[in-house]
Structure 1
Amino acid sequence: MTITQTVTVQATAPQTVDGLKPPPPPGSKTVIDPFGTYTGVIDRDGTYLVGVDIMPGMYRTAGGAICSWARLGSLDTSDIIDSWKGSGPQRIEIKESDTAFLTQDCGTWQMMHVPSVTGLG
């Protein structure tokens, strides 16, 4: 005797943390040109690993109507070091000690400069 059971699974709406949407699915977001050089531009929404996908440094954007960003201490979106949500231009320093940077609806971030390295020399 064979018993067949049909189960319907309903997707639940993603939870938000401090008004930020959950990070997009993993994928290549690295902003490195074909020659292996970091371009200094973050031009799409996503979660970027510091030192892997993006370099630490000072960035700026013209912003968007409802721009939101967060510096993260881990890949957990609730592990927020600093965050902001609003409109207008933004300027942020992504630090070497940050694990990731999350940006949504902020437009293009342009690197202004790389922070100086202390302890060398």
Structure 2
Amino acid sequence: MWVKKAAIAAALLVAVAGAAPGVAIADPTTPATPDPAAPTSVAPAATPKTTIDADGIYAVGTDIAPGVYTTAGPVGDGACFWKRVGNPDGATIDNALTKKPQTVQIDPTDQSFKTNGCQPWQLTEGAPPPQESGLAPVIAGLQLQAYMAQLNARAAASGQAPPP
């Protein structure tokens, strides 16, 4: 029913307005076909950002470019949290909760980067952060064992039994 009304309206429009010689009036009941000679517009591909200025989770290579990023630390008196997530299993590669400025190497193989409470991150040309040698945790463990031995010795000297 609607198609008939549209065709009648189109016919009335041509009859009332009249068509100029050689000009065709399109029938509204016929779907338009695209002109193959007409230029097509394709949206340019989005370029990953090199600045992270808000809390969130950013896909590496899509939302942000991989590389070395730095931040001045937390916003206000809070703490700055960041986390690198691996691909494809989504495991945490590295993270920190700190009140100090940070430098992070975001690899192209990382799945995402999460930030919360940090000042803006900026891609830099600087060197990546130094890798931990693994020595610091060993030393900390040895220091803890030494402190526990001292406490147990003092407890035994005062007549108390050390914990099992």
Please give the range of the TM-score, normalised by the shorter of the 2 chains: 0.5 to 0.7
Q: Compare the two structures and name the one with the higher helix fraction.
A: 2
- % identical aligned pairs: 41
Query: 2:95 maps to what in 1?
Result: 83
Unaligned runs of 5+ in 2: 1-43, 128-164
Query: 1:94 maps to what in 2?
Result: 106
Q: CA deviation at 1:97?
A: 1.1
Unaligned runs of 5+ in 1: 1-33, 116-121
Larger Rg: 2
Cα deviation, 1:39-70, whole Å, max 9, x if unaligned, reads: 41000011111011001000000010300001
RMSD: 2.6
CA distance in 1, matches of 2:109, 2:61: 10
Q: Taking structure 1 as reference, are residues 68 and 75 closer, same or farther at Cα in structure 2, changes over 3 Å only?
A: farther
Letter in structure 1 aligned against 2:96: W
Does structure 1 retain, via aligned residues, the 8 Å contact 2:49–2:65? no
Does structure 2 retain, via aligned residues, the 8 Å contact 1:38–1:54? yes
Equivalent residue pairs, number: 81
Q: TM-score, normalised by structure 1?
A: 0.58
Q: TM-score, normalised by structure 2?
A: 0.44
Query: 2:122 maps to what in 1?
Result: 110
Q: Taking structure 1 as reference, are residues 114 and 62 closer, same or farther at Cα in structure 2, changes over 3 Å only?
A: closer
Q: Which moved more, 1:98-107 or 1:35-44?
A: 35-44
2:56 corresponds to 1:46: yes
2:107 corresponds to 1:73: no
